Amino acid sequence: MTATTDENGGVTGSPTLVPTHAGEPAADEYGTRAVAEQATVRAVQHLLARQDEQGWWKGDLQTNVTMDAEDLLLREFLGIRDAATTEATARHIRSEQQPDGTWATFHGGPGELSTTIEAYLALRLAGDQPDAPHMAGAAAWVREQGGIAASRVFTRIWLALFGWWRWEDLPEMPPEIIFLPKWFPLSIHNFGCWARQTIVPLTVVSAERPVRPAPFSLHELRAEPSPFRPRPGEGRRSVWDAVFRRVDRLARSYRKVAVRPLRRAALGACARWIVERQENDGCWGGIQPPAVYSVIALHLLGYDLGHPVLRAGLESLDAFAVRGGDGSRMVEACQSPVWDTCLATIALADAGLRPDHPALVKAADWMLGEQVVRRGDWAVQRPQLAPGGWAFEFHNDNYPDIDDTAEVVLALRRVRHPDPERVERAVRRAVRWTLGMQSGNGGWAAFDADNTGSFPGRLPFCDFGEVTDPPSADVTAHVVEMLAVEGVKDGARARRGVSWLLREQEPGGSWFGRWGVNHVYGTGAVVPALIAAGIDPAHAAIRRAVRWLVSVQNDDGGWGEDLRSYREEDWIGRGASTASQTAWALLALIAAGERDTDAVTRGVDWLARTQREDGSWDEPWFTGTGFPWDFSINYHLYRQVFPLTALGRYLQGDPVAPGGRLAHDSRAT
């Protein structure tokens, strides 16, 4: 049985199948295929019901409470914080506090110092008193970890804005870096796009050093002097670390001798740079942190809150708020409609929805309308390359990304659109742009080409996570898979991508996941791509990957990997079973020809057994990655789209693998 539709587009399935529910074993008398069919039907119905009338899908993008805390701190700094927003935000922050008084950066993770400090600040703004049990517990833990002095630079910048920390004791990044040429190691174009968008406004803030009157003291978060305890990663210092500490001292010293006309020119150039990159909806890059700092920077440079730029910026931040049924307010760091829509389209098509189904055509129309046809910052490295990518968000024309572009093309090729020439034009532009964004080592990164410098990440100012954008296995795999579908898998660029992937395989057989957690994600992306590119399932690399996946399967039949695997090898491939990670493992195994093995059967049974009655899956664990370990994401739609894709391919095969539907539909591009 496949997930088919009736004359009205509704999903139908065999009425004789008995559904299985969470916590119940799969019904042996019907077999794994039967329960997979029933689970697929329910999942298709659930996903179709979630489509917006405009054609897109979007799940909540949950991160950690620093987004919510900094939103309140911004409003306090600007003098626009209101009681209703404060209490709704505080309700969400309180709900995320762990029993030991801390806040973590991912579900079930250890307490994190800077996150806990910022959450504490937000609750103080909301009126929670230091002697309340939940506040006293948090403060005691912060002091045990070294107090606010041990927090990251970005947290101490927020503290400095209110006089809780001295600007003189912070690393300095002068706004004059805006003038550095692109070949200079510390040019802003040598930072990843997310870091670039954040650092430029922060240079303005650092130069202006504003202080608003603190609404309360923070003496309870200051630890007693104690022997120096380095933050993670600071214990192994190299010669280069000493060099960059000296660079930081020079930057701070430069402030005293900065030529005033040059400083004014630099601040003006930063302001123009920020304004030019504001999107049509008022945000910056479609992500919250650059928007927060851009609003502060422009306000410090004389833009009043009624100015159209700031008014639109603040309105865009309001659009990132998700209201809970309990009256809480969670702020998304970003919104993911393009990513969610292309993944949902792939899932529904691979589950058997007919290619001209109205939902798929509507999704394709919306995606076609979102193609970015203007040049962005990526053109600094590729000035002759014509645009043609897709971004992740609703509005982000400056920073389309390669990952979304590859997956959108894969989604469009699954749809029978009434205007095929329109699709062909869009795909041709996308493929040309993607090929042109290949880095020199043969891989593909997310946003830029050859953004691999090591200098930016060594600056003391940059302690907030990844600050460059080197090629990754997961993005490269998605591109290779897309090129295979487009009939250019034997082209020189595609073959270089395949070679890069084979070189990047870990000794144990997995691949590192840059944008998903972690080795299960990387392996789940790479194996299907290599098979689509013509690598034989018997190839040694594929066999190593299969053995690794089987070796880390949980006893319950699922797969899971904790975010601690980014730091601790013992966690690689280990963690509570999740729907999305189980699906990623199944996608790799099915592509490798393991469909009828015990590992796949047990994995499919786990998905069917844990599906909820409404066709969805529950997944509190974070399986997405912004910065490995430092910034984690729970994409609420991952738990729906990836299990449905895996079930569909279990029932109908991988459409991109040799012999699959799309493998025969080659196009010379």
Tell me the C-alpha distance between 43 and 649, whole Å.
Answer: 14
Residue 291 backbone zone (phi > 0: left; psi -120 to 50: alpha; other: beta)? alpha
Q: Which two tokens stand for residue 12?
A: 């139908």
SS (H, E, C) 590-622: HHCCCCCCHHHHHHHHHHHHHCCCCCCCCCCCC
Please name which of 399, 476, 397 lies closest in space to residue 435, comparing C-alpha atoms: 476
Cβ atoms 75, 644 nearer than 8 A:
no
Beta bridge partners of 427: none
Strands 321-323 and 329-331, bridge-based pairing: antiparallel
- For 275-292, the DSSP string reads HHTB-TTS-BTTBHHHHH
Sort 109 into a burial class: Cβ within 10 Å, 0-12 / 13-18 / 19+: buried
Question: How far is 330 from 624, CA to CA, in rounded Å?
Answer: 18
Residue listed under structure tokens 């059967």: 601
* Partners of residue 634 on adjacent β-strands: 62
Which one of 68, 71, 401, 403 is the catalytic residue? Answer: 403
Quickly count: other Cβ atoms within 10 Å of residue 459's Cβ.
21
Tokens of 22: 């969470």
Q: Check if the beta carbon of residue 138 is closer than 8 Å to that of residue 101.
A: yes
Q: Residue 102 has which token pair?
A: 């801390």
CB contact at 8 A, 572 and 510: yes
User: Do the strands 61-62 and 631-635 form a parallel or antiparallel pair, or are they unpaired?
Assistant: antiparallel
Q: Which residues of 566-577 are buried (b: 16+ CB within 10 A; e: fewer)?
A: beeeebbbbbbb
Side-chain-side CA neighbours of residue 391 (13 Å) = 25
In the residue annotation, 397 being an active-site residue is answered as: no
Helix (H, G, I), strand (E, B) or coil at 378: helix
Q: Indicate the helix (H) or strand (E) that contains 140.
A: helix 133-144
Count other C-beta atoms under 10 Å from residue 33's C-beta.
13
Neighbours of 234 (CB within 10 A): 12
Ramachandran area for residue 285 (φ above 0: left; ψ -120 to 50: alpha; else beta)? left
Closest CA to 571 of 612, 513, 526, 610: 513
Task: Tell which residue, 194, 532, 113, has the closest CA to residue 391.
Answer: 194
Contact, 328 vs 44, CB < 8 A? no
DSSP H helical ranges for 442-518: 473-485, 492-504
Report the 3 state secondary structure along 384-436: CCCCCCECCCCCCCCCCEHHHHHHHHHHHCCCCCCCHHHHHHHHHHHHHHHHH
Query: In what helix (H) or strand (E) does residue 330 lie, and over which residues does it extend?
Result: strand 329-331
User: What is the Cα–Cα distance from 360 to 341, expressed in whole angstroms?
Assistant: 10
Residues marked as catalytic: 403
